[in-house]
Structure 1
Amino acid sequence: MRTSDAVSGTMAAALGAALIVASADLSPLPRQVYGAGTFPKVVGALLLLMGGLLVLKGLRQRQPWARWTSKVTGRAFVLALAAVVTSVIAYVVLTPLLGFPIVAVALLTLLFRAYHRRGWGRALLIAVIATTVIWMLFAQLLHVPLEAGLLERVLY
């Protein structure tokens, strides 16, 4: 099923507004200009802005609210759901043991390969690039502690 950009934009804008409201009462950090609510507010504002642009695009194109594009088998849906749930559980269990970089690369490689079927090399390359970008953004730029695990001596 494919939904209109207006529907998707409305959901994104609503999520952005909810993020802004939910993060409004988070206290600032001592001696800092920004606090715990800064990042959620920025993400919420971007969701609100981009959702609004999607709504305008969807209304301008006069798309139907929803339409069926192709049938998804029950087996494919259950397998996709199981892969995502299993990945989350594996991440929670394995990250303290092996560390974020190893677990993220392994899980993303498996998921990219399972969903896109473009080859192991391409899946591994995209997983390494995505993990590196996430590590740089969160661990280096935002100073969010990500478990280095087995690679602690290599990374630090």
Structure 2
Amino acid sequence: MKFNDLLLGLLVIAGGVGIYVSALDFTPIPGQAYGAETMPRAIAFLAIGVGLFLSARAVMRAERVPRLSLADWAHSPRSLASLALTVALVVAYIVFSDSIGFVPMALIVMVTLMLALGARLIVAVPAAIIAAVVIQEAFGGLLLVPLPPASILGFQW
């Protein structure tokens, strides 16, 4: 999908405003001049600035390109099926990850996507296992992001 600069600029501005508004609810860190809202607000200001730049440039150049045009891949049924599968797997992860756990759901998602995109099973399974474990350790262990624990047959790991 291709957007002209005016439409893309307006979308980026809307995203920046959304980020800024969502950061208003973040609580400040006591005793510090900055808090959890600092980075999202900085990103929001940058996004709004980039969006204003894109929009102004499009208006000054008086662009006559279509507002929206589909890329060549969007006309392929196989590509659209892959896109639909990706969206369905993301929704499945959101729905089932709390009950199944991060690692099993990540394995299901990654193996399914790799097989759908043409990888062989002998490559997809080990790659998914390594990726799921590395992501679990990086985010869950090092960065302390709370990922859903695996709970299969009533046992939690």
Instruction: Provide TM-score, normalisation by structure 2.
Output: 0.57
What 5-or-longer segments of structure 2 have no aligned partner? none
Q: What's 1:102 paired with?
A: 104
Which whole-Å deviations, capped at 9, do the CAs of 1:119-141 have from their partners, x for residues lacking one?
14369747854874586357633
Which of 113, 118, 125 is equivalent to 1:111? Answer: 113
Larger radius of gyration: 2
Q: Is the 8 A contact 2:10 2:51 kept in 1?
A: yes
- Given the superposition, is the C-alpha separation of residues 108 and 97 from structure 1 closer, same or farther in structure 2, using an over 3 Å criterion? same
- Cα distance, 1:12–1:126 mapped onto 2, change above 3 Å: farther
Cross-structure match for 1:66: 68
Q: Offset at 1:51?
A: 4.6
Distance 2:100 2:119 in 1: 25
Amino acid at match of 2:146: P
Instruction: Name the residue aligned to 2:87.
Output: 84
1:34 aligned residue: 35
Q: 1:100–1:149: 8 Å Cα contact kept in structure 2?
A: yes
Q: Distance in 2 between matches of 1:63 and 1:51?
A: 19
% identical aligned pairs: 20
Distance 1:85 1:49, change over 3 A: farther
**Which ranges of structure 1 fall in alignment gaps of 5 or more residues?**
none
1:131–1:63: structure 2 CA closer, same or farther, 3 Å change rule?
Answer: farther
Asked if the contact 2:86–2:113 (Cα under 8 Å) also holds between the matched residues in 1, the reply is yes
1:140 to 139, 142, 156: 142
Tell me which amino acid in the other structure corresponds to 1:145: P
Following TM superposition, the consecutive aligned residue runs of length 4 or more in structure 1 with deviations greater than 6 angstroms are: 73-76
CA RMSD of aligned residues (A): 4.3
Number of positions where the alignment pairs a residue of Structure 1 with one of Structure 2: 144
Which amino acid in 2 is paired with 1:41?
R
1:4 corresponds in structure 2 to 4
